[in-house]
Amino acid sequence: MISLIGTDLDGTLFNDHSQISLANQQALRQASAQGIQLAICSGRTLPTVAALFEQTLKVPGYRVCLNGAVIYDPQNQLLQKTALPPQQLLVAFQLAKRWRVRLCICGLEKIWVYQPDLLSGKAAAIKAPRLTLHSEAQLKTLIEQGNKFYKFTFNLIHFNFTGIRQAVKAAGQLPLHFVRSGRYFYEATAPGVHKSAALALIAAHANLEVCQMVLKDSFYPLEISSCGRSFLLFY
């Protein structure tokens, strides 16, 4: 009997429109009704993951956000919250500024974006992010005010291939969990923080033995009934 289903969102449970198909919604509701635990494991922020359980699926489940840095149980109780070291965030900003790459720094609910061309006024056609990070001094102030950040990302802008390569090369030397999740998109969390570790924590919390793990890029409801006791599905 399957006891746990864990799935990522982008490139996995989400379709091309960043939505959960009606067929997959029904499959997950049926699984929940049968007593199977559900977990959404994503790089997205808590409000996005929470809304999927509360408004779309309308079933309880584990919420693994920001690549495993923040984990809540089905009763909305915090299981883990691991912030990035402030010094590493400052280094990330310095690298983004030097090599002119886009930097996103993720809090629990908000994302701050540093994008050089937005600050220079040369990108009128680009929609400005909701929260713009203008300077290292601003980032220091946010940190001093007690704000916690759990993930940062680098990604390519305006075909600056040399810049993204150099920024990633330098960031890869930092004591972080640093991964490539797109062709020119890279994500960093604190050491030891990643989705598979989060799923292992959830299995322990639910007193489950993980006996089968499947790594996939897409979600098929039929496989819910074809695997072992704990079926972990993520990108």
| pLDDT tens string 44-67 | 999 999 999 999 999 999 999 999
Same domain, 209 and 130: no
Residue 74 confidence class, pLDDT cut points 50, 70, 90: very high
Same domain, 94 and 14: no
Same domain, 197 and 111: no
| pLDDT tens string 107-134 | 999 999 999 876 554 443 334 347 999 9
17 alpha carbon, distance to own chain's centre: 18
Same domain, 181 and 98: yes
| pLDDT tens string 198-232 | 999 999 999 887 655 444 433 333 333 333 333 44
Give the neighbor-by-neighbor strand order of the sheet with 78-81: 78-81, 70-72, 62-65, 37-41, 4-7, 230-234, 212-215
**Domain containing residue 227: CATH number:** 3.40.50.1000
What does the alpha-carbon distance between residue 217 and residue 154 come to, in Å, rounded to a whole number?
Answer: 22
The pLDDT value recorded for residue 232 is 45
Same domain, 115 and 65: no
Same domain, 110 and 185: yes
Same domain, 221 and 144: no
Q: In which domain, by residue range, is 106 found?
A: 86-189
Q: How many domains, the chain?
A: 2
Query: For residue 200, which amino acid is it?
Result: A
Return the half-sphere exposure (C-beta side, CA atoms, 13 A cut-off) of residue 215. 3
The pLDDT value recorded for residue 227 is 32
Query: What average pLDDT does this structure show over 179-197?
Result: 94
**Domain containing residue 156: CATH number:** 3.30.1240.10
Same domain, 157 and 214: no
